[in-house]
Chains A and B, each alone.
Chain A
Amino acid sequence: MRKKIAFKPVTLLLLLITFISFAKEDVKHEESGSDLKTEIKEYIQHHLLDSYDFNLFSYDNGEKHFGFPLPVILWDNGLKVFSSSKFHHGETVAEAGGSYYKLHHGKIYKVDGPNGEIIEDDHHHATNQKPLDFSITKNVVLIAMVFAIMFFMFSRMAKSYKKNNGMPKGTGRFLEPIVLYVRDEIAIPNIGEKKYKKYMSYLLTVFFFVWIVNLFGLTPIGMNVTNNIAVTLCLALITYLITTFSGNKNYWKHIFWMPGVPVPMKIILAPIELLGTIIKPFALMIRLYANITAGHVVLMSIIGMMFIFNNWLGSSLSFLLAFVLGILELLVAALQAYIFTVLSALYFGMAVEDHDHH
Chain B
Amino acid sequence: MEIPAIVGAGLVVIGAGIGIGKIGGSAMEAIARQPEATGKIQTAMLIAAALIEGIGFAALFAV
Out of B39, B50, B54, B60, name the residue touching A185 (CB < 8 Å).
Answer: B39
B51 within 8 A of A: yes
How long is the Cα–Cα vector from A25 to B17 in the complex, in angstroms?
37
Out of B50, B55, B61, name the residue touching A339 (CB < 8 Å).
Answer: B50
Contact with B along A182-223 (1 / 0, CB 8 A): 000100010000000000000000000000000000000000
Number of interface residues of A (CB under 8 A): 14
Most buried by A among B46, B54, B55: B54
Beta-carbon contact of B47 and A290 below 8 Å: no
Known: A339-B46, A342-B46. A290 touches B51 (CB 8 A): no
B56 → A minimal CB distance (Å): 8
B55 → A minimal CB distance (Å): 8
Q: How many A-B pairs with Cβ below 8 Å?
A: 34
Q: Tell me what chain B mostly uses at the interface: helix, strand, loop, or mixed.
A: helix
A171 → B minimal CB distance (Å): 25
Beta-carbon contact of B50 and A287 below 8 Å: yes
How long is the Cα–Cα vector from A338 to B55 in the complex, in angstroms?
19
A286 within 8 A of B: yes
Name the residue on A nearest B47 (C-beta). A342
Known: A185-B39, A185-B43. A343 touches B60 (CB 8 A): no
A158 → B minimal CB distance (Å): 28
A340 → B minimal CB distance (Å): 9
Beta-carbon contact of B58 and A286 below 8 Å: yes
Contact with A along B27-63 (1 / 0, CB 8 A): 0000000000001000100110011011101101100
How long is the Cα–Cα vector from A283 to B55 in the complex, in angstroms?
8
Q: Tell me what chain A mostly uses at the interface: helix, strand, loop, or mixed.
A: helix
How long is the Cα–Cα vector from A290 to B53 in the complex, in angstroms?
10
Out of A185, A286, A291, A343, name the residue touching B47 (CB < 8 Å).
Answer: A343
Out of B39, B46, B51, B60, name the residue touching A283 (CB < 8 Å).
Answer: B51
A346 within 8 A of B: yes
Beta-carbon contact of B61 and A343 below 8 Å: no
Known: A287-B54, A290-B60. A335 touches B46 (CB 8 A): yes
Beta-carbon contact of A283 and B54 below 8 Å: yes
Beta-carbon contact of A290 and B61 below 8 Å: yes
Known: A339-B50, A343-B50. A283 touches B58 (CB 8 A): yes
How long is the Cα–Cα vector from A287 to B56 in the complex, in angstroms?
9
Out of B46, B51, B57, name the residue touching A338 (CB < 8 Å).
Answer: B46
How long is the Cα–Cα vector from A335 to B47 in the complex, in angstroms?
11
B20 → A minimal CB distance (Å): 13
How long is the Cα–Cα vector from A335 to B60 in the complex, in angstroms?
21
Q: Which residues of B contact A342 (CB under 8 A)?
A: 43, 46-47, 50
Interface residues of B, Cβ cutoff 8 Å to A: 39, 43, 46-47, 50-51, 53-55, 57-58, 60-61
13 A–B contact pairs at CB < 8 A?
A185-B39, A189-B43, A283-B58, A287-B50, A290-B61, A291-B53, A291-B57, A339-B47, A342-B43, A342-B46, A342-B50, A343-B50, A346-B47
List 11 additional contacts besides A185-B39, A286-B58, A346-B47; criterion CB under 8 Å.
Answer: A189-B43, A283-B57, A283-B58, A284-B54, A286-B61, A287-B54, A338-B46, A339-B46, A339-B47, A339-B50, A342-B50
